[in-house]
Structure 1
Amino acid sequence: MHGHVPAGHVAPADPLSSVTDAVYRIDRRWRFTYVNAAAQRLLGRRADEMIGRYAFECFPETLGTVIEDEYRAVLLDGRVREFEYFYPPLDRWFEIRAFADAGGLTAFLRDVDDQRRTEQRRLAELRQLSAVLEALPPATVLLAGDGRIEMVNRAWTANGEALERTGDRPARVGEHYLEAMARYVDAEHHADIAAGLRSLADSGAPQSTFTFDYPHQVGPEPAWFRLQAARVDASDRVIVTHTDITERVRDQQALAWQASHDDLTGLPNRARLLELIGEALEPGRGPAALLFLDLDGFKTVNDSLGHHVGDELLRRVGGRLAEQVRPGDAVGRLGADQFLVLARDCDTAEAASLAFRLQSSFSRPFHAEGISVPLSASIGVAVAQPGADRAHQLLSDADTAAFAAKGAGRDRVHVFSPGLREAARWRLEVANRLRDGAVDEFVVHYQPVVRVDTGEVEGVEALLRWQHPERGLLAPDAFLSVAEETGQLIPITRWLLCETTRQAAEWAAQGLPLRMSVNISARHFSAETLVRDVRVALHDSGLAPENLVLELTETSVAEDPTRAEDQLSILQTSGVSVAIDDFGTGWSSLAQLLALPVGTLKIDRSLLTAAARLASNGTGPVLAAIVSLARTLGIRSVAEGVETAEHLQMVREAGCDLAQGYLLAHPMPASEVLHWASRVRAAGGDSCALALQASRR
């Protein structure tokens, strides 16, 4: 083409001058016949330096290379050849297409060095990633930028084979990852995975990793996997690993279950119950009730039958409660011998009905270790008020109601009322003040005890009072039960012994010797400090032991008669007297009473009232029979609660030795005792006659 142009003719324009690819022609003698402008630039030679010259003379480095081989093949069979060639002088890769023509061949050269090197880097990365993937124990895939699976490791392949055996279709290279995952996870988890991968695809996002745990149903039990995705540096690829964490999840679930359930019964524990109560109190839910069940006397069961039997009984109780509640209700164990029942959509009437049904279910004995054991429960019922959202408050209310049920005599059902909450707050205040030294606010009032036959004043009973700074003078019922619960009762009794013996010694020094009666609780027997405390009080006060009487209730003796007998016998030997208080209200046997060194029997006012009623109906002198029995045993009798002239007449006819009550004298501060005794002396020394005279006015 590039020869001489005849005169008068214009050389035709080169049709390949605008082609961006390098183009040249070689004839069958391997000489250049045409080179376009792009080829001249690419090869770094002018056309006149190449046209007509032997190709391998111009470019000797190509001799014996793939170029020679491919060009010869094109010239031989005329078929098109396309191949890549690395040209060392330029240190670049070229893509060459060679076409046969009538005179030889035409070659098109394109610089593909950037693409080739990029691809080489990509392949190198893939080889490196492949090595990394194979080294990873979990099933792992490499995702391309479009989300398709580009590479998998052996673990993924092995998992796929396992899936095939179960009938599932495994995800393979070339498949879109999220489309494949849709077969293995539910819609909610799939959406979370998709969102996480999208966050990685955003190259501007700071997040470069994503972790998500999801379940996959494999057989009857779900397997759990941890998906961890990470963006490959300087790439749009993402590596996704799938670690089997089934055992870890099951261990965590087991620990979570143990943390929220009672080990012994398997029922929800306090923490879980509070969660359930909180859920039941959420806005939009119906009324919720909470039943607090406190087993009565269960400590005695444990102490007598052993804890292994007690544990089995607790399991039986939990099972029976679960059988009795309504569908949707929850039964839990609060701890020790206390259970809770959460009744959803339950008003006060329904809750009370459920409580009585549960109470009735205890009428059947419980069986454990071949033993039939009768049990009962005190049940407190609390219903959430509209708008209530505090689980702890509802639990506290139910607990308060159960406390009231137990205080009412056990085996009772009590429905919470706001007044109970005030009572609970009062108990808390009492407990705190007792702990902080309220003993300084205690005072003692004394009620005279007189001889029925002569009216002579024989002694006084010490009655503890609390001079509360805000509430005024409080009777023992307002605070002694709390003192017993909090362990303050023994220190208070110890103070009372010291105070009363000191006072009695002071009166004796003033010419008024009186026997001092002091009430003692069962707790003092179990603490085994009674003997020492009495001796210390007598020693410090100087009071003669014969002038001290310890009053015990029947029930306090019955709780531990052997321990009581041992300590009381020691005190009796030293001269201290013992009286049984409130006789007729307890359940102790005469055999137990006879075993104790009892000197006095105090007949409770309730028995006195009943005897008076029976006497009015002509049923006989019941009170006289009791007094006669006591006298036969060498025990003096004291009639309590003598409030009317008729009462005094009845106790005289029955032969009672001593009496006390409002007719004769009200309890009074120590400062008034001497004045009262002086009035009796002034009237002749017969307090009974003085009292009858005053009652007729």
Structure 2
Amino acid sequence: MAHPPLLKPSMFSGFWYTSVLLGWGLLVVACVQVGTASITAAGLPLLMSAVLLLVLELLPLVQGRGHDPHGVVMSTAFVCAVLFMWGPWPAIVMVSIAAMASDLRAGKHWWKVLFNVGQYACSVAAGAVVIWLAGQHPSLQHPLPRFSVSDIGWVVGVWVVYFTVNLVLVSGVLAHRSSLRSELFDDFLHYSMMNFAVLGISPIIVVVAQNVWPLLPALLIPLLLLYRMAQMTLEKEHEAGHDALTELPNRSSMHFALNDHLSHARRTGDTFGLLLIDLDHFKEVNDSLGHHAGDELLVHFAHCLRRSVRPQDYVTRLGGDEFAVIIPAADERAARDVAERIRDSLIEPVYVQGMQLQIEASIGLAMHPEHGEGLEDLLRHADSAMYTAKESREGIALYSAVRDRNSTDRLSLLAELRQALDQHTLELHYQPKVSLADRGLLGVEALIRWDHPTRGFIAPDYFIPLAEQSGLMPMLTAQVIEIAVAQLRDWSELGLQVPMAVNISPTDLTGHRLTHLLAQTTTTHGVAAGMLKLEITERVVAEETEEMNSVLLTLHEMGVTLSLDDFGTGYSSMRRLKTLPISELKIDRSFVSSLFDSTADVGIVRAVIDLAHALGMPAIAEGVETESEWQLLHSLGCDGAQGWHIARPMPAADITEWITAHAPSSLRTDAA
């Protein structure tokens, strides 16, 4: 985690400068004192203590998750022992050398190295004040003569002061990541018990050094055993908290990490994202090639995940083919960027047992706190978004209460949508589609609009999936077709023959309900079926069924034309595309909007235009919003355009005026 700037006044800079300036000043004095003093009286016990202190500084006692990840340094016992016997100056020199060696070995940042040396020096000096107040003045020339029971009082005082100063200085510097109170008291009981257990060994070290100093190394035995036990606990904890196949943290570790991020976010107000990822068609790989092949695929995907996320992101395998990624300190855009990098990492095929396989994944995104304040809510909503991504084949989906089948808001909106359909309060707006060659009108697209009496404007992206999932889609489609065909009749009576495109859902293409509806509606209003163009998505291209093929063929025979909408965002088979009765290809707005940001998108748009022409149909660009986009598309050979640069979607009366002003003579007939 980045620290606040050192040149800006803050709690961090205040504690840092206090520790560094005071501590390094003490270290300079200590070096002078030790360098000019005779160490004859201290002799080999001092040298032995220094060596053991350095060894133990490199072996911190780490207790596992939930506790200080840096652990408790066992060298503290020898630091205090040196302080008791020979005073603060050799203790400061020894602990400074040991701290620098440990920090440099760990590759810590320079500001941490400077701070740690300073805060240790300050802690030792504070402990020395207690010794002096107790009437003791040990030094290299005059070591502590004898350690007795009467010394226990000031020894405990030194422990308390050393521990307190160390804790306050470290907490003050780390308070920027949460709060001073949190840094001081989170895990305080365990942390203090571990520290005082280590400090409690210091009188034993003093007694051994004063009487039988050659036995000092023997004190390493219980300390090293304690270190080894802690390491074994960490190994077991790692084994219990990680997936054996992918070596990623497992569900248990993810829950623990997610709770940590939730606690941090509540303190700081940060937002973060949670991705739940499910591999598509994984069961088919297991069933066809066996579990060993499935395992290879999971290991490969885990490697892709690690490469795709940021260093601070937390990747886990929940079990089976489900994975999760916690994305700290991120807004929705940053979280979606991570999700898109994960999807992009799967573009290249993977070879398993000599077979080429293409991995695909569905990713659900939930943001804290917008989509959940607690662990269960966040997990449930990310899971709901993942299934939305899988069902819609979008690849990535942000949680939406409207799409959540268990959401109370969804149930409420569903009832309100049914009421709107019953009361015929939905309406159509129309957006013109024009030729890039001469700006002549090619037709219009009918777009459904719902102006809710209390919620305001509700985007189609919210309520159309709701209608598809709830069974209201046939009713919604029937009303759209009725309004659209009635409008075509009205225009015809005004002498305007304007082709109209209407969006339909893949669910409309099951059975022949749609063909019967179109036949009945066009006959009732006296409108030629050829005036209607139905816009379908690539999902229809991907879902090849005999029933759907029959419906599309019947529509073609009726004279109803088909347009492939949002091309480039789904999964289109070229063979399937060639056989469908499609008369128009629409380039998705996401490619159009990025034309001046990405040369790759220019190449994609050019390729789509060439594909459309090779299939004998025009290419229409959606979402054209600037003249520069218009000119570039025209130079690429695109045939038509639709977007706000031409006109916004308009209600019937406004679009009629617009058509009257812009329609070419070819779209006009004499009024009836």
- TM-score with structure 2 setting the length: 0.44
Structure richer in helix, relative to its length: 2
Structure richer in strand, relative to its length: 1
Structure number with higher relative contact order (C-alpha < 8 Å, ≥ 6 residues apart): 2
- TM-score with structure 1 setting the length: 0.43
